[in-house]
Structure 1
Amino acid sequence: MVAAVREALAAEPEGIRERVRLIEGDGRDTGAHFLPGAFDVVLCHGVLMYVPEPDPMLAGLARVLAPDGLLSLVVRNADALALRPGLSGDWERALAAFDSPAYTNRIGLPARADRLETLTATLAGIGAPLHTWYGVRVFTDQAPDDRQPPPAAELERLLAAEDRAGRTDPYRRVAALLHLCGVRG
């Protein structure tokens, strides 16, 4: 991933490249690189599923949030982990998903899903309580990865349906991913 970012960054104009600094780390050591309260927004999207124990990393990310700063997380939804295999008829994997947050993702890597209630408690404990949350990929999780985008009018309706479902219970609770927004007190 770092190599891909470096390659993409190399194609950007100098004005963009000079404003970007890539720092490799596991998220727990934010204090070694940044002062407390250094950022108004911290994004952690598609990362927690590869971290065996997310709490120390989340605490490190919260440390660098300014007062009223936003911690944005996108995570795999453990409460909906059985849906994808169940809808595709893989009953063995569907049944296993009820008992474990561990899974193998679409690219073959072992990963871990999170529960809304657990992350809500973690965010409260690190001083960035949950402000709002959304479901992501309610209707489109089963779409093939190599599928071409639909025509513009259909894409607009698809996005409107996903947006509405992602903000509406009970649909957002069965989304493949959750987008949680915690705000530093």
Structure 2
Amino acid sequence: MVRQELVTRQLAEHLPPPPRRVLDVGCGQGTQALRLAARGDEVTALDASRELLDLLESRIEPGMRVRAIQAKAERLGELSEPASFDVVLCHGVLMYFDDPGPLIAAMARVLAPGGLLSLLVRNGDALALRPALMGDWREARLAFDDTRYVNRLGVAARADRLEELTGRLAELGLERREWYGVRVLSDAVPDDAPIPDTLDDLLTAEDRAGRTDPYRGVAPLIHLLCEKSES
């Protein structure tokens, strides 16, 4: 919940006025896709899970323009025409690709000139922090030299280092506009923890930390926003 609320706030500051053509790659249950559709955007939601897409479709309200497509993210290049979207979201997906290069290139291809790419990735520059906070010192030690890790679900994944990822995006004509840290202060809170009565304070503190150095540099997640060059 904290992650989704922070990403919504951060994204809103950079989006062009609606209506926009939006693609959500790996949309999951569609939290961001549905929020943008409710604001008047035309949204294409892509995910490999039929179960998650069914959940998304059950929450579509009258008047929302949402098209759900069941397909792996790797097929993006064959499913969409070049420059067919004004905004492309890819949140919590790149960490499951050993080589995210082809997917990044496909997203750059389908994004229109001047369009916005929103990426949410695991922060490879702060990978040791969570295991250290949990008292797993072996994993903390290994994290300094290896961007591979096992997430809370027990799934093998990988992290991205901000400057390396920014450089890779620049080679595709995607210039970094801004970046934020996400879940800087609450990452060690258990997933099943109840929502606190001081939720507004929590979100305000997280929002400030995600915009402020040095806090954002140690965030477990990085929200990176890039603009595609006009040329």
* TM value normalised by structure 1: 0.92
Alignment of 1:57-68 (within 5 A): 57-68=103-114
- Residue 10 of structure 1, CA deviation: 4.4
- Percent identical pairs in the alignment equals 52
- Residue 7 of structure 1, CA deviation: 2.4
Matched, 1:178 2:222: yes
Seen in structure 2, the aligned counterparts of structure 1 residues 63 and 138 have a Cα distance that, compared at 3 Å, is: same
In structure 1, distance between residues paired with 2:60 and 2:208: 37
In structure 2, distance between residues paired with 1:13 and 1:158: 29
- Residue 18 of structure 1, CA deviation: 7.2
- Residue 128 of structure 1, CA deviation: 1.0
Matched, 1:119 2:165: yes
Paired residue total? 182
In structure 2, distance between residues paired with 1:14 and 1:89: 45
In structure 2, distance between residues paired with 1:14 and 1:135: 31
SS at match of 2:81: coil
* TM value normalised by structure 2: 0.74
Seen in structure 2, the aligned counterparts of structure 1 residues 149 and 90 have a Cα distance that, compared at 3 Å, is: same
In structure 1, distance between residues paired with 2:146 and 2:98: 13
Larger RCO (CA within 8 A; separation ≥ 6):
1
Structure 1 unmatched ranges of 5 or more: none
Seen in structure 2, the aligned counterparts of structure 1 residues 13 and 118 have a Cα distance that, compared at 3 Å, is: closer
Match of 1:21 among 65, 68, 72: 68
2:32 aligns to what?
A: none
SS at match of 1:22: strand
- What is the CA RMSD across the aligned residues, in angstroms? 1.7
In structure 2, distance between residues paired with 1:16 and 1:82: 45
SS at match of 2:73: coil
In structure 1, distance between residues paired with 2:128 and 2:87: 32
Seen in structure 2, the aligned counterparts of structure 1 residues 142 and 6 have a Cα distance that, compared at 3 Å, is: same
Q: Which has the higher strand share?
A: 2
1:80 aligns to what?
A: 126
Check the 8 A contact 1:10/1:17 in 2, yes or no. Answer: no
Check the 8 A contact 1:44/1:73 in 2, yes or no. Answer: yes
Matched, 1:155 2:199: yes
- Residue 67 of structure 1, CA deviation: 1.3
Matched, 1:30 2:76: yes
In structure 2, distance between residues paired with 1:115 and 1:122: 11
2:110 is aligned with what amino acid? Answer: V
Seen in structure 2, the aligned counterparts of structure 1 residues 64 and 84 have a Cα distance that, compared at 3 Å, is: same
Structure 2 unmatched ranges of 5 or more: 1-27, 29-48
